[in-house]
Amino acid sequence: MLIDAQGLAVSSDRPENIAAIDAFAASALAYGTNYQPIITAAAADPGCVMVGSLAASLMMWMEMGQSPQMAQPYLDSCRSDLALAEPREKLWFQSTAAWVVGDMAKAMDILEQITERWPRDVFAMKLAQYHYFNLGWSDKMLAVCQKVLPANAENGFLYGCLAFGLEQTYDMAGAEAAGRRAVEINRADPWAHHAVAHVMEMQGRIADGVAWMEAHADTWEGCNSFMLGHNWWHTALFYMDFGDARRVREIHDQHVWGLDKTYSQDQASSASLLWRMELRGIDVGQRWQDLADHVAGRTGEHVQPFLDLHYLYALARAGRGDKVNEMLASLTVHAAAAPALARTAWAEVAVPAARGLVAHAHGDYEAAYADLGTATPRLQEIGGSHAQRDLFVQTWLDTLLRTNRGGEAVDVFEARAKARPNVPHGFDLWERAQAQV
């Protein structure tokens, strides 16, 4: 038995395994790129339960349709040594195995057990936050971080995790304070930069947002493609609110799209930014076509409803009618048979949202009206952040205005404008809605 950097026991006598585990946890918290050691360690010592569980988790974290098939061999390889594993490692194995088969209730329950008994296991907390985020369970995302924070007060990365949980539960002042504290401890904490950007985005503090993100952008180059692109995505939103279309297109082309065109989160970030640009009347040229080429193979994956809606809209805007129809049919079948925990989100939110978004992408706003009206009040169930899901709300509001129904939600337009008083676009939309009362 050896001890890792967090002071946790690992049933291994190989220092290489401990180094790989430490590198994995450090990269996960910092959104880095040093994940190869865990794969190398799993190949060298396939029986190590902790190494195998983390390698399998990495495969699942890639958010691909084949992720479960890629993850399962790592679990199969270390299963024979499970009886010799430490109690924490056995729980890790069980949680990961549940994730692989789609039993998210069990996976999250076990992660809660791990964080309760071993609060120094910060990756267990981080992974629990990831799962809760994807289900829209913001309260639990915050609570699991608050639970382990006292045992990890010296770890600046946890304050970034805390900040995002606070922002997603609408404690904007607390979120900004926690995020700034994280950056005081470690200037190069991209998740803390991101959490503070969320606060500024929600409050319409566009000058503050540009200054904050541009001041820390030099620290993002060592991040993985998701974090690098996503922080630039947030930066682009601030420039969009300034009306700087040239800078938004530049950020998309240089920092959001092209880092890893095969990765789900990079694809979603590109789709989201192109989509928002078009809602603002910004010409995106032929950019949808390249994105559609890279998501066309995902029509039957259905890893997360949030991702599916981005893939589908991209295909629709690129004019890939056959792929759109294929994905809508597959999505409907998947929703009916989805795991119990997520079935209502798929069937009652994602399916009508998908139909409505495709109609909107095709310019059929009357057809979009009913389905988007059904899905919009329940969007949190499909996961994603407030800022990310707001795109769907914007699309619904655009549909109302285009069908001369802005008066139906004039109070929504008003509240949105007043919540972000420094953003003229919100007031422009409110005026249009008032004219349709």
Query: Where do the structural domains in the chain lie, given as residue ranges?
Result: 1-138, 154-219, 223-278, 286-403
Ramachandran assignment for 102, one of left (phi > 0), alpha (psi -120 to 50 degrees), beta (any other): left
Distance in angstroms (rounded) separating the CA atoms of residues 181 and 171: 15
- The pLDDT score that the predictor gives to residue 320 is 98
Q: Residue 160 above 90 pLDDT?
A: yes
pLDDT tens across 44-67, in order? 999 999 999 999 999 999 999 999
User: For 20-47, what is the mean pLDDT?
Assistant: 97
3-state secondary structure 4-50: CCCCCEECCCCHHHHHHHHHHHHHHHHCCCCCHHHHHHHHHCCCCHH
Confidence of residue 115 (pLDDT cuts 50, 70, 90): very high
Q: Residue 340 above 90 pLDDT?
A: no
Which residues, including other chains, have CB under 8 Å from residue 211's CB and lie 6 or more apart? none
- Compute how many other C-beta atoms are within 10 angstroms of the C-beta atom of residue 160: 29
User: For 316-336, what is the mean pLDDT?
Assistant: 98
Distance in angstroms (rounded) separating the CA atoms of residues 123 and 170: 24
Q: Which two tokens stand for residue 226?
A: 């998701």
Q: Residue 339 above 90 pLDDT?
A: no
Length of the chain: 437
CATH topology of domain 1-138: 1.25.40
Cross-strand bridge partners of residue 9: 3
Q: Residue 168 above 90 pLDDT?
A: yes
Question: pTM of this prediction?
Answer: 0.95
User: For 407-411, what is the mean pLDDT?
Assistant: 96
- The pLDDT score that the predictor gives to residue 256 is 98
Cβ atoms of 202 and 419 within 8 Å: the answer is yes
User: For 120-133, what is the mean pLDDT?
Assistant: 98
Distance in angstroms (rounded) separating the CA atoms of residues 229 and 223: 9
Confidence of residue 286 (pLDDT cuts 50, 70, 90): very high
User: For 318-336, what is the mean pLDDT?
Assistant: 97
What is the end-to-end Cα distance of the chain in Å, rounded? 71
Helices (H), 31-155: 36-44, 49-61, 67-78, 87-100, 104-117, 122-135, 138-148
Which residues, including other chains, have CB under 8 Å from residue 228's CB and lie 6 or more apart? 190, 220, 221, 255, 259
Distance in angstroms (rounded) separating the CA atoms of residues 113 and 59: 23
Kindly report the average pLDDT of the chain as a whole number: 97
Distance in angstroms (rounded) separating the CA atoms of residues 292 and 312: 9
Cβ atoms of 92 and 50 within 8 Å: the answer is yes
User: For 355-377, what is the mean pLDDT?
Assistant: 97
Distance in angstroms (rounded) separating the CA atoms of residues 70 and 100: 10
DSSP string, 323-346: HHHHHHHHHHHHHHHS-HHHHHII
Distance in angstroms (rounded) separating the CA atoms of residues 312 and 358: 7
Confidence of residue 214 (pLDDT cuts 50, 70, 90): very high
Q: In which element (H, E) is residue 169 found?
A: none
DSSP label at 431?
H
User: For 363-367, what is the mean pLDDT?
Assistant: 98
Percent of the chain with pLDDT over 90: 98
User: For 404-424, what is the mean pLDDT?
Assistant: 96
pLDDT tens across 299-319, in order? 999 999 999 999 999 999 999
Cβ atoms of 420 and 203 within 8 Å: the answer is yes
Instruction: Measure CA 148 to chain center.
Output: 22
Distance in angstroms (rounded) separating the CA atoms of residues 81 and 19: 20
Q: Considering Cα of 333, then 334, then 340, then 345, what sign does the dihedral take?
A: negative
